[in-house]
Amino acid sequence: MPLRDNPLGELKVPLAWTAGVALIVALVAALVLLLSDRRETFQTEAYGASRKVGDAIAAPVTGVLATPGRWIGDGVEGVRGYFFAVSENRRLKAELVEAREWRTAALALRDTNDRYKALLGLKTDPPIPMVAARTVSESRGPFSNTRLANAGREKGIREGNPVMSENGLVGRIIGVTDGASRILLLTDIASRTPVMIDRTNARAILAGDGGPNPRLEYLRGQDPVKQGDRIVTSGDGGVLPRGLPIGIAVKGLDGRWRAVLASDAAPVDFIQVLLFQDFSQLSAAAAAELRKMTPPPPAAPATAVGVTAVTPAARTPATAAQPGTASTPAAQRTEGASAPSPKPAAPKPPALRPAAPKPAPAPAAPAADQPPAPEVPF
C-alpha cells in the first residue's frame, strides 16, 4: 500500500491543542506550588491540604530524578575502590601492625598496673610498715635460691625482714647494704620457716630443698593436714609475724607433704619488704591504733589561774586598810594602780622590786614619873 493511501497518514495532532494542554499542566503545577508555599498557610495551619498534595507529588518525582545521580556516584566509588585497592590494602596492613603493637603494650601495662594495685593493697593486722622494691637479679643453683632487690639500709631494711609479693610470702632478708638487699627464697636449702595449717592450727616447719615445692616437716597430731589446706606463717619464735600466706598443702610423689607456694602464681618482680622487728613492735602499733580510736577526754573548764590568784596589787589595799599601819609612797602607788578591775586574762609574773628601807626607830622619850638614871662616875 502506498504511503499516501495509509488511512492514518492524514491524522495529525493539532499544534494548538498540544500547546494548550502543556500550558494547562504548567498552570496547574504553578498554582499547586503557589498554594503550597503560602505564608498564611503556615500561620493558620501547621500543614495545609495544598502542602500535603504538593509534597505527595514532589516526593516520588525527586526520588526518581535523584536515582541516576546516586547510581553514578556509587559507580564512581566502585571504580575508584577497584583501581586504588592496592594502596588501600597497604595502608590498612600498616595500621593493623601498629594496632597490634599498641595492643601488646596496653596488655603489658594493664598487667603491671594490676600487680601494682595488688601489691599496694597488702595489709597486715596490726599494720606493719612496708617498703616497696623490685628484684633486679636472680641467683639459682642446686643449693642456692636467692634474689637481689634494689632497696637497702637507707630505707630501714634489716636482716630477717620478711619479703612478700602480691600473692604471698617470698622469703626473708639475709643481707643488707646501701641500695641493695639479698633475699633468701623459701625454696632455698637453708630456708626454715615456722608455719601452721590454717584449718587445724597444726604447727610445722617449711623446709626448702632446692625444688619448687618445699617440704612440711615435724607435723604433729592425728591427720593434721589434708589436700588443699591453706598454709600460713605461725609466728613462732618471733621471726615472722603470724598469718602471712604461704600456699596450699599437697602430697608429693615421695609421699611427703609439700607446699605449693602462693608467690609462684605470678613472676616475683615487685615486692614489699615488711619492716618487722619483733612482737613488741606489733604491740606498740596496736596501742597507737587504739589511742587513735579512743576519743580525747573533754577539755577542762577555762578557769584561768590568774583570775583567782591574789596578786600583790590586790593585797596592798588590804594591808593599807589595817589600823596602825603607815601608808608608804610605795603602798600608795600600789593602791592607785590596783584601782581598775583586773582583766580575766592570766597575768604575767610580777617583777621583783627591792624592798623600801624601813626608817630607823626614834628614841623613846623618858616618862615623867620615872626618876632620872643616876650618873656613873668615871
Is the pLDDT assigned to residue 239 strictly greater than 90? Answer: no
Chain centre to alpha carbon of residue 315: 64
pLDDT at residue 224, rounded to an integer: 92
pLDDT at residue 338, rounded to an integer: 44
Exposure on the CB side of residue 43, measured as CA atoms within 13 A = 3
Nearby residues of 312 by Cβ (< 8 Å), 6 or more positions away: 334, 350
> Nearest 5°: phi and psi at 322?
-70, 140
Percent of the chain at pLDDT > 90 equals 32
pLDDT at residue 368, rounded to an integer: 46
d(C-alpha 305, C-alpha 312), whole Å: 15
The radius of gyration of the chain's CA atoms, rounded to the nearest angstrom, is: 54
| Domain residue ranges in the chain | 12-69, 130-287
Is the pLDDT assigned to residue 3 strictly greater than 50? Answer: no
Q: What is the DSSP letter of 305?
A: H
pLDDT at residue 332, rounded to an integer: 45
d(C-alpha 330, C-alpha 313), whole Å: 11
> Residue 207: which of 221, 220, 219 has the closest Cα?
219
Mean pLDDT for 29-58 is 62
d(C-alpha 11, C-alpha 98), whole Å: 78
Is the pLDDT assigned to residue 310 strictly greater than 50? Answer: no
Nearby residues of 350 by Cβ (< 8 Å), 6 or more positions away: 311, 312
> Nearest 5°: phi and psi at 335?
-65, -40
pLDDT at residue 63, rounded to an integer: 73
> Residue 274: which of 160, 143, 355 has the closest Cα?
160
pLDDT in tens, 184-207: 999 999 999 999 999 999 999 999
pLDDT at residue 70, rounded to an integer: 83
> Residue 164: which of 74, 88, 240, 252 has the closest Cα?
240
DSSP string for 185-204? ETTSTT-EEEEEETTT--EE
pLDDT at residue 337, rounded to an integer: 43
Report yes or no: 319 and 325 within 8 Å, Cβ to Cβ. Answer: yes
Q: How far apart are the first and last CA of the chain?
A: 212
Lowest mean pLDDT among 272-286, 321-335, 362-376: 321-335
pLDDT at residue 159, rounded to an integer: 93
pLDDT in tens, 243-256: 999 999 999 988 89
pLDDT at residue 164, rounded to an integer: 93
CATH code for 130-287? 2.40.10.340
Q: What's the chain's average pLDDT?
A: 75
Mean pLDDT for 210-216 is 92
**Burial class of residue 155 in the structure, from the number of CB atoms within 10 Å of its CB (0-12 exposed, 13-18 middle, 19+ buried):** middle
Sign of CA dihedral 343, 349, 354, 358: positive
pLDDT at residue 203, rounded to an integer: 93
- pTM for the model: 0.50
pLDDT at residue 326, rounded to an integer: 43
- pLDDT confidence of 154, banded at 50, 70, 90? very high
Report yes or no: 248 and 198 within 8 Å, Cβ to Cβ. Answer: no
3-state secondary structure at position 313: helix
The backbone region for 255, taken as left when phi is positive above 0, alpha when psi lies in -120 to 50, beta otherwise, is left
Three cell numbers at 364?
623613846
pLDDT in tens, 84-120: 888 888 899 999 999 999 999 998 888 888 877 777 7
Percent of the chain at pLDDT > 70 equals 64
